[in-house]
């Protein structure tokens, strides 16, 4: 079919995703080669545990030493599926120095070291594909970078961690507590034994760093993302939000205006009729607001062997299509030409304006609500809705739930400190940010 010989690919990592890549390439070999214009063959692979892999390794040269694959002159494309920062970073930079193209599913690597890696790729005239690093099988990188290239992207908001979304869904649907659902997520294999990256928002922050960069044309800046997890959300918060017409989702939000960019990951109340509110279980979804197109939603499996392999193989096909192309005319890694990236500042969370959900545990006596509303009013904070829940039998504390209009986080911090200083308030104030995402 092609005048060109098969393109030889080397895999680093033969775990869940590596196994998926071998199976998808084998199953769809003819269709993939028709799209790419050349046959694609995985000829080399490295893994720490070659005995336990479920990958389709027939016809591959296998090794326990990744450097052997990276340095093999036969290999044209290195697919890095090891995860983590090192040795992945060193191996990717070595592959690029060797003149090999790289495809990776490693969001932590791109978020932390992408600027360095992309510069090395340009210096060596090669490409780095990273579609699988964000939202698994959803082609969100390509959609923003190419499909929406005619738009000024105003904001991106996404459910980009399936573990966190599974936990929030179970808490809402079944009225369960966070620790209970987390234990089930671990038993089902959705959460790691150490779930910190998922439930505290670090994994989502890696992905948001990448989305913000390609959406706004700014360098990757993981260290400037505000990160807050879901471990302090209670089933009561979930129920009260529902009563007020909202759902709590763990969102990554990238927003820009005349003041700068916002990069934040935190639990967020969103209206029940917002499309993202209906994304349940381990699924991912990303909502993108462009000035010309309006809102577009990208939904699908954010993890798993075959969905992630789908994105990896698509990147391999992209690389193969450009093997004979002029390096200066490829799609830029971060969507914008490297010398045209913006120095738009990333705002600290104190400067961000958003609405809020506040839950207070208050002594059930006259005047408490008046004290609270005075503190808010003194800082220009307007209240949109109030729920007051009577004390349970035998208890002396009532629950007060407030929804506020938009205000700068700095003023809300001051207000919360003043409220917590009242002798009638008996516990830290629960604060969850609220976003309408285009719906009022």
Residues identified as active-site: 207
Neighbours of 105 (CB within 10 A): 29
Q: Specify whether the CB–CB gap between 91 and 75 falls below 8 A.
A: no
**Paired sense of beta strands 153-159 and 77-80, if any:** unpaired
Q: Where are the alpha helices (DSSP H) in 143-259?
A: 162-174, 178-187, 196-199, 202-216, 235-243
Structure tokens at 208: 């948001």
76 near 322, Cβ under 8 Å?
Answer: no
**CA 429 to mean position of chain CA atoms:** 28
**What is the C-alpha to C-alpha distance for residues 282 and 249, in angstroms, rounded to an integer?**
12
Smallest CA-to-CA distance from 95 within 109, 29, 134 is with: 109
CA distance 381 to 411: 8
Tell me if 161 sits within 8 A of 204, measured CB to CB. Answer: yes
With 0-12 CB in 10 A as exposed, 13-18 as middle and 19+ as buried, what is 287? buried
Q: How would you label 407-430 residue by residue, b for 16+ Cβ within 10 Å and e otherwise?
A: bbbebbeebbebbeeeebbeeebb
Helix spans in 322-408 (H): 368-378
* Cβ(216)–Cβ(257) below 8 Å: no
């Amino acid at each position: 079919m092609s005048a060109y010989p098969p393109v030889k690919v080397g895999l680093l990592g033969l775990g869940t995703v590596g196994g998926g890549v071998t199976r998808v390439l084998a199953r769809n070999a003819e269709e993939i080669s028709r799209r790419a214009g050349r046959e694609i063959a995985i000829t080399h692979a490295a893994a720490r545990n070659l005995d336990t892999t479920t990958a389709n390794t027939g016809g591959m040269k296998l090794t326990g030493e990744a450097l052997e694959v990276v340095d093999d002159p036969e290999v044209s494309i290195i697919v890095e599926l090891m995860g983590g920062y090192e040795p992945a970073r060193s191996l990717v930079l070595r592959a690029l120095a060797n003149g090999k193209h790289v495809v990776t599913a490693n969001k932590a690597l791109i978020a932390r070291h992408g600027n360095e890696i992309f510069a090395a790729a340009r210096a060596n005239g090669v490409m780095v594909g990273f579609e699988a690093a964000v939202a698994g099988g959803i082609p969100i990188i390509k959609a923003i970078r190419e499909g929406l290239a005619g738009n000024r992207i105003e904001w991106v908001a996404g459910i980009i961690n399936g573990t966190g979304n599974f936990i929030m869904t179970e808490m809402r649907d079944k009225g369960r507590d966070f620790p209970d659902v987390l234990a089930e997520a671990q038993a089902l294999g959705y959460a790691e034994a150490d779930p910190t990256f998922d439930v505290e928002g670090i994994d989502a922050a890696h992905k948001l760093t990448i989305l913000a960069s390609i959406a706004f044309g700014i360098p990757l800046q993981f260290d400037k993302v505000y990160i807050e997890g879901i471990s302090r959300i209670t089933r009561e918060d979930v129920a009260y939000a529902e009563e007020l017409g909202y759902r709590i989702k763990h969102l990554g939000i990238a927003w820009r205006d005349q003041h700068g960019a916002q990069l934040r990951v935190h639990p967020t109340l969103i209206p029940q009729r917002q499309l993202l509110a209906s994304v349940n279980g381990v699924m991912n979804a990303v909502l993108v607001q462009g000035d010309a197109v309006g809102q577009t939603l990208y939904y699908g499996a954010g993890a798993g062997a075959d969905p992630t392999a789908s994105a990896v193989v698509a990147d391999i096909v992209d690389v193969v299509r450009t093997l004979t192309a002029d390096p200066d005319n490829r799609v830029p890694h971060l969507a914008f030409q490297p010398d045209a990236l913006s120095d738009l500042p990333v705002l600290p969370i104190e400067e961000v304006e958003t609405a809020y959900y506040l839950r207070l545990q208050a002594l059930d006596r006259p005047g408490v609500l008046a004290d609270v509303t005075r503190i808010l009013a003194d800082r220009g904070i307007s209240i949109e809705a109030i729920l007051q829940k009577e004390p349970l039998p035998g208890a002396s504390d009532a629950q007060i739930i407030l929804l506020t209009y938009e205000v700068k986080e700095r003023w809300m911090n001051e207000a919360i400190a003043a409220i917590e200083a009242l002798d009638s308030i008996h516990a830290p104030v629960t604060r969850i940010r609220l976003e309408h995402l285009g719906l009022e």
